A and B are shown apart, each in its own frame.
Chain A
Amino acid sequence: MSMEFLVEVNGKIYEISELVKSVSYTDKLNDGCSKLEFSYIDDDLNIQNGSVVRFKFNGANIFYGYVFKHGQNKAKEITVTAYDQLRYCKAKDTIVVKNDTIDSLVRKMCNYFGLRAGSLASTGYKLPVSVQDDKTWLDIIYSAIDDTLTNTGRWYCLRDEFGSIAVRDLQDLQLDLVLGDESFAYDYEYEKSIDDDFYNQIKIVSDNEDTGKRDVYITKDSDSIAKYGLLQYFEVLDKNYNPAQAKAKADALLQLYNREVETLELKCLGDVRVRAGSSFYGQIEDISLNKRLIVKSVTHEFIPVHTMSLEVML
């Protein structure tokens, strides 16, 4: 195990890997910036907000970001929280999205805040014209990602990769890695529920300009209703959908919601390649799991032994 832990304080760079007591790195899929929390013991080195932190583990680039919080106690243990560049994108703004794609929006954002941009996958999908008034840049881009997903079926993630902002197709983030019973995992928690976000009948109401009144569209899965009881989803569409579109929307919603929600959390030995958005092959015999899974969030702990806990999408 080798670590390289650099911090820049007042123009000087210090290597503190010998002093660090704990390091944890948290990353979430399309949900804000990634975060590095660490603590160290030292009399002389007073880290400051805004200091640059760079962390490498076994030669792999893990984190490059800026200190946003630090504190200490009587035992001279100093705790620090640092975020990556996306922290700066929480700022609100008003923009009009027109002839834009995800990558062009991200490029605008980087220019505006003076952030370093890295590899921006070109998505090729022109976003619908919209007004984004008084919204955070992150929300604007996440809603662009949602639009692109529903219209093209391609899923992208926005993240900071060691100091440069990147847009990646999740297809390109597949790892040749197996996690499960016999491979790296030492604990897991699994749950299957119909308590939240489960519906087997969809009822959609939409204004019809031709008839001058509201139309109702219902679609349902009778087998599922017999099994679980009737659970209805209701929505009034705000945009003008024509009958075919409304019907299609109801069918799509039924597809989406008519399945038991499964959640899985895994605790494994660490692998530096795993970030939110990457996918690996999951194998757990007891819950007959045998497929590729996307990481929703991950926390790496590097001291004393590199471990990680994952929340995945099933």
Chain B
Amino acid sequence: MLFQSQGFTLLFLPLVLAMYYVAVGNAAARQWVLIAASLLFYGWWDARFLPLLVGQIGATWMLAGLHERTGRRGWLVAGVVLNLASLGTFKYLDFFLASIEAALGQPLPRAHFVLPIGISFFSFQLISYLVDRMRNDAPIYPLRPFALFVLLFPHLIAGPIVRHNELVPQFALDPLREGLWKRAGAGLVLFTIGFAKKVLLADPLAGIVDPLFAQAQTAPLTFGGAWTAALGFSLQLFLDFSAYTEMAIGIALLFGLVLPENFRRPYLATNLREFWRRWHISLSLFLRDYLYIPLGGSKKGRARFVFATMGTMTVCGLWHGAGWTFVVWGLWHGVGLAACRMWQSAGLRLPALAGWAVTMAFVLVGWVIFRAPDFATAGSILASMGGAAGFSEPLQGLGLLAAGAAVSALLPSAHEIKDRWLTPQPAWAVAAAALAVYCVLDVGKGAPTSFIYFQFWSRTCTMLPGAGS
């Protein structure tokens, strides 16, 4: 079930909210309502994967319990291995087989597993809990709140990535506590903003971008076409993913829960390190705490820093998709982050505008590699952007690109809107509700398109370096 579908907006969400607030006086009952709703929400896509999801949660909880009783760290290690094995099997097995096949030149069989949606998110959240247990930084929770921490449908499929200690304590809070109406108002507005960004900007941008990337697989794009593809995708990706986050944060607020910030206008960053402090923040923080710092971080010398950065960003790339283009995208950013830190450590500075231009150019090149189905296509688009196919044709969809850029640059982050910008003006309520009605009508014309981030998780890599063209 998609957030932006009529079924979700007009039926599922109102019904779950009604049941939740009927049960609001009983913490256990309202948590069961959310668990049941989340299982239905997940099962709507593919009920076959419910046992996997429930199994990973149950096994992780039991292993943590065994560790609590026996004090043996091995139970936690077993839990991490179990979650990694599940993720590796469903998401990466065919990618590794294809890579080995390319290296050996021998055909190998494939598993052809269907990728369970959201597996990267829930596996990472479970692993983070187990690692925190190893660090003596996580208590044993009762099964119900523990399961709900992973299952909670607003963040289950595409984040933000939430840590147990951010969410579980909130389940005990009374949803009717002080600020109920402000949370509800902000939730409704954030949901509407995300809805509008998705259907009025991100999806129409996809209509321009997708054919260009498809065309680039067979023939070079024009100069204008290549820049349209690169700029359009950069905007589409941000608008789509941040829209999902805003809807997720908005929905959670309606239940009295606060999810963490995920984007803070990343395309205003004036250097690459700042970009990663603004882009997919919950993932950046997760990788920093559970990978970058354990690998050595920046405190153990330059070589260790480069190693930690490159290792972290390689995993970051692989997390986004099982393909070599994603790995190279991660490495590209790893190199950029290492260079950026060294530049800054040397005391060098660029004027803000120049820094912004360099950063955006770097990010733009990265997104072309990220989006392209193979290196040949990415290379072709980048070459056309550089004028290899001449300098013909203007940008396509200029109005849409401009609108997307303006919203990306000007619209504050979800938490900024919630905490600072939104005031209870009646005109805002009417305008937001009218926009929501328009969006509900807009998605009714046919089957809604999936959020773009879902696609990266379902893409399996068949293109390998050298075999991609």
Q: Do A and B come from one complex?
A: no
Residues of B participating in the A interface, judged by any CB pair closer than 8 Å: none
List residues of A whose CB falls within 8 A of some B CB: none
